[in-house]
Amino acid sequence: MTSKPFNFPAKRTTALFLLTAAAAAQAATSADLSPLPAFSADIIGAEIHGLVRTARAVSTVASTVVDYEFSLRGLLKDSVQYRQAISQVHLRSAKRFLRLCEANKGFYVKAGQFVAAQKVLPREYSSILSSLQDQVAPLPFRVIKEVLKDSLGPDFSEMFLSIDEQPIAAASIAQVHHAVLKSGHEVAIKVQYPWIEQQMNFDTRTMYFLSKTIAWLYPQYRLEWLPLAFAKSVSSEIDFVQEARNSEKAAKIFRNNDMVRIPLVFWELTTKLVLTMQFYEGHKIDDLDFLKQIGVDPEKVAKLLIELFAEMIFVHGYIHGDPHPGNILVSPEGCNGLSLVLLDHAVYRELDEDFRKDFCQLWEALILKDVKKTMWLGERFGAGRFSRYLPIIFTGTTIESKYAVGMSIEEKETLKHELESLLSEDLSSFMESLPPDFIAIMRVDALLRSIIRKLDVSRIMRLLTYTKYAVYGSLCPKLDDEGELREVPLSNLYFAVQVGYFSFISTLKYIRVLIMVLVGAIDTTPRRQKLKSVQNFLYSNISCDFLGLLVHSVFLLLCIRSKALF
């Protein structure tokens, strides 16, 4: 029996022609861009350079569309053959996009990293694209010198004793040089490439156009929000004045933390294109050889890292948005021969206060296996019917699991079949429904977990550390930009009492949570249910005063006795 010939769908054929023509026209009309200096001796005109980059992108998208159409034709979506075939297509397509990002460099590399971190595409894409490295060949110092002259003035060199012409780092947006000021201070000068804003505008328009085309071809994939979110993220990265402000705010928040160092900003040498900050020696946080060399336990480093970001998420609601290993250095200087140096403050997320409180409660509910509260909070976050998957995202357990960490073999099999029944459009719908604050936390948490895995540290440490700060964050009122309690008199004594109170109460509550986790499933005898009702009443009605401190303390001490555990 002869097989029926395959006719490529007319909609796809038309789209590919329109895609190519429109993209070429877009590149050709971009002649107003400044020429992009090549890293070789030749200089390519901006219009030709844009056309080449866009042609690569169009070719990649077109090849991917054809691959999906041919490879999946005739297969039923619910079949094993379809799942196996689509996984292979996902893998091939992800490798195509990896090659595209590596060839086009610049914002395509950052876009690939951004998409991989969002976890909105199948795992094949996230896995492949996460290997992208944001490193480029540095520009000659003569080009950097022109930017410094335009930004700091023609006599800028008089402010320095020396500037190392060889950069210590180079990425897609800027490169960094070590220098010494006339005052003797060592500084790091971050200098933005002169054409970067024009290139960003061009590349993000191309990405948005391609995403719109994919959405037209495949309505179930609604990904137009991705390039918009990426553009918003990148636009903050190219404003070095805003980065300097972010850095100063973070430094104020952690000014009493001897284990964390945030470089000082030299404002007189900082503009939108140039950022001058205090220089710190250090190695990437996942450099195990360096940790071994200085005699530091990786678990200690991982715990310090998780505590830093748990405090950001649950207490301050002010989160460094890009905690990859290159932005977090381990320095042998500091308390007990160890400190973390936090770099690159371009992207921060300030959480809505109601969201911060709700997320603290969500984390407690996840740890305590409180299904009802997890589902209720999931509804508040917009997750809807996908709220049942929130434990998988953050704790690695199913919502029905009785385990605090991990899953049984039966649970893994059940979850596998359940997830296989979900369509890609379900995932897209789920991600679209979540608030931006939630997605930002997911991204940061994924990056932190990646570092922890490289340090070979148990994930239990992350869960317990998050829990400790979630408990404190749920009790503690909003902190101001100085890291102090809002609406509290400036009296140092009163402030100390307030901090001591919240620390004491949260410690007791944290102990209670730990015991509940260790004990495991808790039965519901009438006596224990009654204790739980009393506890809920106290939590909702006792205010933050001395009476509240006394009543809470006595009650919590009673409740952590094993026989009275509820």
Alpha helices in 311-408 (DSSP H): 353-367, 371-380, 390-394
How far apart CA 275 and CA 273 sit, in angstroms, is: 7
CB-based burial of residue 70 (10 Å sphere; 0-12 exposed, 13-18 middle, 19+ buried)? exposed
Residues sharing a CB contact under 8 Å with residue 365, sequence separation 6 or more, in sequence order: 373, 374, 377
From the list 134, 203, 286, 322, the catalytic residue is 322
Query: Are 244 and 275 contacting, i.e. CB atoms less than 8 angstroms apart?
Result: yes
Q: What is the DSSP letter of 500?
A: H
How far apart CA 309 and CA 365 sit, in angstroms, is: 20
Stated as kind and residue range, the H or E segment containing 186 is strand 186-192
Query: Are 431 and 439 contacting, i.e. CB atoms less than 8 angstroms apart?
Result: yes
Rg, Å, the chain Cα set: 27
Q: What are the phi and psi torsion angles at 366 (to 5°)?
A: -65, -45
- CA-closest candidate to residue 64, choices 95, 107, 21, 85: 95
Query: Are 192 and 240 contacting, i.e. CB atoms less than 8 angstroms apart?
Result: yes
Ramachandran assignment for 557, one of left (phi > 0), alpha (psi -120 to 50 degrees), beta (any other): alpha
Q: What is the DSSP letter of 30?
A: -
How far apart CA 108 and CA 421 sit, in angstroms, is: 32
- At residue 86, what is the residue type? I
Is residue 67 among the annotated active site residues? no
Strand stretches in 300-360, DSSP E? 318-320, 328-331, 339-342, 348-350
- CA-closest candidate to residue 404, choices 337, 349, 458, 480: 458
How far apart CA 430 and CA 79 sit, in angstroms, is: 23
Alpha helices in 36-79 (DSSP H): 46-72
Residues sharing a CB contact under 8 Å with residue 197, sequence separation 6 or more, in sequence order: 238
Query: Are 117 and 152 contacting, i.e. CB atoms less than 8 angstroms apart?
Result: no
Residues tagged active-site: 322
